[in-house]
Structures are given as structure tokens and as C-alpha cells.
Amino acid sequence: MSNLVSELNSLDFNVYVGGPLQAAIEAQTSASMATVDFIKEVGFEKDSDDSEPDALRYVDFNYKKSVPNPHVGKTAAQLTAEGLVPGDVDTTNPFIKSNVAIKVPFLTMLTIPALRIDEVNIEFNAKLNSVETKSTSSQFSASAELGIKYWFVKFKASASYKKSTYQGSKVEKTYNLGVRVKAVNDELPEGLNRILGMLEDSIATVG
């Protein structure tokens, strides 16, 4: 009978269990560095002078919106007193079109990747079966000659028998390794949250 305990002890659990955990740690590190690279590449414009910090990338929006007409109902004398030319100012429509320009930091418009490995499940099953083998083979051969000559009988016979027996044991091994990884888009770190808050405060509107 094979020693199944020694067979089981020969398994390298550092590889079967530690390997997936190490891969998960490396994946988490790569995800964190991907967040840093994303912010640097997308949120900033590379400066040609390495000694100068990179400039924050903004997105410009220009549009028109309706605003209350502050001059509606005013007389020509009132417009002149304000330094305006009466013929150039609309005093009848309650609303007028105004051009608005907005500068928005690009980072505040995007979802910043912040993947976090939330759960790692490792399922390793080792199945060992000890099998005894035994085989027996037999071989038999025979030959005979019979002849009659001048009333004398000649008889010749031979026989052989061979038996071989093989016996041993073997261990059948079956290994199953299953790894399930659950990753989520984590909340942004507090420091990055504060930076994004300051960037939102820097949104400038000119109208």
C-alpha cells in the first residue's frame, strides 16, 4: 500500500495557495499605479520644461443662455446716463441672449479608476487514490512426434510451462485549483477627494 501521507506532504502549498495570493497583491499594486498614471496622463498637460510643473488640463465650454434684460423699460435718457447708446440697447424684450464661457478641470468630468480587490477565494482539492496492481501470465507449449518403422515405435515429446507474476502499486493524483477574484471600483482616497473638491471650486464661468 502506498504511503498517501507522504504523497500529500510532497505537495507545495506555497505554490497552490501562495501563488494566487501573490498574484492578487501584484494586481492590486498595478491597479493603484494605473490610477496614478491615469491622473498624470489625462488630467495634466505635459510641460516641455521638466523643471516646471505640468499644467492642469481644462475643458472650455461656450454657449448662449437667456438672462433677464436689465435695460427693459428704460428710457433713452436713462440709457444715455449709463453711457449706453439708446439705439444699440434692446429695452423691449424681457430676456436677452448672453454668451457664457466655462473652464472645467478635465479630471472632474471623468470617473477615475480605483479598482480594489475585495475578495479572493482559493479552492484547492487534492485527490489521491492508491491502486494495487497484480498481473499473472502463463504460457504452455507442447510438441510430440509419433512414427512407426519396422514394428519399432518412436515417440518424442516435449513440454514447457512458464508463469510470470507482476505485482506493484501506484498512486493516482488529481489536483483541482479554482481561484475567484472579486474586484470593485473603490471609493477615492480622502486626499484625492479633497483635491477634486478644490478643482470643482476652480471652475470658472464668464458670462
Rounded-to-integer distance, Cα 138 and Cα 164, Å: 6
Residue 138: the pLDDT is 58
78 CB-side CA count, 13 A: 8
Residue 165 located in a structural domain: no
Q: Which of 72-81, 99-108, 179-188 has the lowest mean pLDDT?
A: 179-188
Residue 124 located in a structural domain: yes
Residue 14 located in a structural domain: yes
Residue 120 located in a structural domain: yes
The model scores a pTM over 0.75 = no
Give residue 159's pLDDT band: very low, low, confident or very high (50, 70, 90). low
Residue 151: the pLDDT is 46
Beta carbons of 169 and 132 less than 8 angstroms apart: yes
196 CB-side CA count, 13 A: 16
Domain count along the chain: 1
The residue with cell 465650454 is 61
Residue 47: the pLDDT is 75
Residue 31, domain extent: 4-130+172-206
Residue 15 located in a structural domain: yes
Tell me the three state secondary structure of residue 134: strand
What angle (nearest 5°) sits at the alpha carbon of residue 125, between those of residues 119 and 129?
A: 180
Residue 166: the pLDDT is 60
Tell me the three state secondary structure of residue 88: helix
The H or E element spanning position 79 is helix 76-81
Residue 157 located in a structural domain: no
Beta carbons of 140 and 160 less than 8 angstroms apart: yes
Q: What value does the mean pLDDT of the chain take?
A: 75
Tell me the three state secondary structure of residue 27: helix
Rounded-to-integer distance, Cα 126 and Cα 176, Å: 7
Residue 152: the pLDDT is 45
Range 52-68 average pLDDT: 84
Residue 138 located in a structural domain: no
Residues 6+ away with beta carbon under 8 Å from 190: none
Residue 38 located in a structural domain: yes
| Residue 102 grid cell | 466655462
